[in-house]
Structure 1
Amino acid sequence: MEENKMMDRNSYTSKIVLALTLTVFMAGSLFGQTAGKVRGTVTDEASGEALVGANVLIDGTGLGAATDESGEYFILNVAPGTYTMRAEIIGYKTAVEVDVRVYIDLTTTINFSTAVEAVAGEAVEVLAERPLVQPDVAGTVINVSGGDIENIPVRSVGDFISQQAGVEQGMTIRGSGINETAFVVDGISTRGGRDGTPTTAIALTSVDELQIQTGGMSASVGNARGGAINIVTKDPRDRMILDVLINQSPANSMSFAGDGEIVKDEDAYWWKPYKDETMNSAGTAGGAWDVYYQSQYPVFTGWDAHMAGTSGSDTLLTKSDWLDVFDWHHRKNT
């Protein structure tokens, strides 16, 4: 009996350890999909030799690293965005790199080169340029910042994605519908468990970084046939953000007038029930029209019923007067 209890206890402990291991592994995988990496070297400007022990920092964050014996450094789990980086080592000028762009799940390479400075000196500022070829990208990847999206006249994230190269209307990628595309927001998949259709109702102004993969996806993107859409939203911890999105639509015609038929034609859809002298006194259901004819026009109770419901000075108005009032209220040619 004691032996069985011991075996059950060991089995229970093993299950707990396995569950914790899987949780840590999945959390690491999810976070890896929403962050990038920065690597590079720090060298002497004159000799080109590696500088060991140089501190490389990302301004505005608590992230940084020191160079190894080869002068190389690696900074992991960097949130996507644009940063300023600096390399510092005693006896050398501080090298500064501005406009360093970090992308989702990609590695940005920034190499520093600085000169000897015996006395405290100035900082060397260099503008970071995006390489033409990124060696860690094996497929077709589009990276867009939230600022780029706000400069495009679109109403939703879906509209913006549908305008990108390789994407058709409705976020169709390579002929596959949205239910066959991985849609990840802040490391969490929004795909439904029933038919795979994801939730794409993301506020347009909440997007900080957007990545679209339309081909050559890596093994980290699972259960996706068409492509992968990865969104990182803005971090609200450091500041409050208020965005206002205003949509304006042009005025539409209020009738179904065809070619050669003006909007105020007495046989037009919105006008006939009020202007047709053969039935407008008793209304559309007054008996002049059959049920089939009535179904083709809006319901109108008739001018007689309208005048019977008036009070005060309105009771002095005749049907002809009310028609004049109707024409005046609808005087615009729209």
Structure 2
Amino acid sequence: MRIQTSHSLLSCLAALLLIAPGAQAQTLRGVVQDESTGVSIEGALLLLLDGGGDVLGTILSDETGAFLLRAAASGRYSLRAERLGYATYTSQPISLADGAAVRVQLRLGIDAIPLEALTVLAGSRSRLGRLVGFDERRNDPAITGFFLDSEDLERRPAASPSRLLDVIPGVTLRRVQSQDHPLGLRNQIFLPGGRDDFGRPGCQAQVYVDGVPIVQGVDASVDDVMAGAAVAAVEGYPRPHSAPPQYGAGGDCGVVLFWLAEPAASSRGWDKRRLAVGVAAAFGIFLLSLGNR
């Protein structure tokens, strides 16, 4: 048992050392609507063009009129929209800075192009690549889960990571006795489904911080790894099959993913933060294994 524990600990640390920071991407997302009715237009062909008019990417708008295009590098790009029954439209150049995330509203006319067909709704520097995935999942209507973004978290500035989930229906925090905790108690996150060791409804969630698993127990919790103010976003999936496959596969309970805020320093600082989270997680696994011997 001790050999297996040591091997798991070393494997976890080795894997963390090999994880590279997520690459940033320039994204252009938006919605296509009918100029006269405001109804979303499904099946519009969106083309991302460079300064020479070459097509760099294409996508069809979905049933809500939404689309997402990515640019491999920063620069100035144009957006072209084509749809049978509507006049083809090509926008003026749009600036995408390094790591920018720009949202637009595009209105197509049947006979002519409206004077202001393209409206930039928001433009900002995107977060780290790992949070681009958070945004995509949050905006996907086919995904079942809960999502807390920076605006949601700002309403609870003093909350610990686990207490951020108090507002989520179905999420339960259970306090367990812990001799080494300053308050004598640790919060464990439970989701609907199954029953715990005492026969109570609910199962212990699979918890990750920036993709690193955090084992919940008497000797460890997500609150030991970070402060609530360090959290940039949270997403949760009550059933493991609804979670991203790299997180929910093989688990019996749902998943909660915590994402840390983008560090102000270089990517080297990000590596240290990920390593610190991983060391804390691995140490928690090690302590739990000792307690189970």
TM-score for the superposition, normalised by structure 1: 0.31
**Larger RCO (alpha carbons 8 Å, 6+ apart):** 2
Max radius of gyration: which structure? 1
Write 1 or 2 for the structure with the bigger share of strand: 2
